[in-house]
Amino acid sequence: MSRGRVHASNATPAEENSVKLVAREPLSLAERQRETAEYLAEMILELRNLARSVKLHTVMVPLEYAYYEAFTAANRIEVPEDEIERIKRLSKASGDLDGLLDT
């Protein structure tokens, strides 16, 4: 085996662990994107830390940006529709109040 290379076993994880696999529903596109972005963020962070440990700052900085992008994608928060409507009403009320104060 050459230095630094990892070779995969021919056995599947289920065979290696003798774990009974349970069927589950396929993930939605949004769930797969979140999981993938989370995985990428973890891997990029490891690469960034490796670059930092050997003072490869020109490599480290772009990896830092990539990490934040992947982390943000993995932890995106969807604002509920009723909250958006409430904010729009507050904005309109604020604009109406500004109009009253200007007169």
Residue 51 falls inside a structural domain: yes
Q: Both tokens of residue 55?
A: 């003072």
Q: Whole-number mean pLDDT of the chain?
A: 82
Residue 38 falls inside a structural domain: yes
The CA–CA distances, whole Å, from 78 to 15, 34, 98 equal 39, 12, 30
Residue 92 falls inside a structural domain: yes
CA distance 7 to 58: 30
Residue 13 falls inside a structural domain: no
pTM attached to this predicted model: 0.54
Residue 66 falls inside a structural domain: yes
Q: Looking at residue 76, what is its pLDDT?
A: 86
Residue 8 falls inside a structural domain: no
Mean pLDDT calculated for residue range 56-78: 93
> Rounded to the nearest 5°, which phi and psi values hold at 4?
85, 0
Domain containing 75 equals 27-102
Residue 3 falls inside a structural domain: no
Residue 13 has pLDDT above 70, yes or no: no
Residue 6 falls inside a structural domain: no
Q: Both tokens of residue 61?
A: 């900085």
Q: Looking at residue 59, what is its pLDDT?
A: 95
Domain count, the chain: 1
Mean pLDDT calculated for residue range 71-87: 88
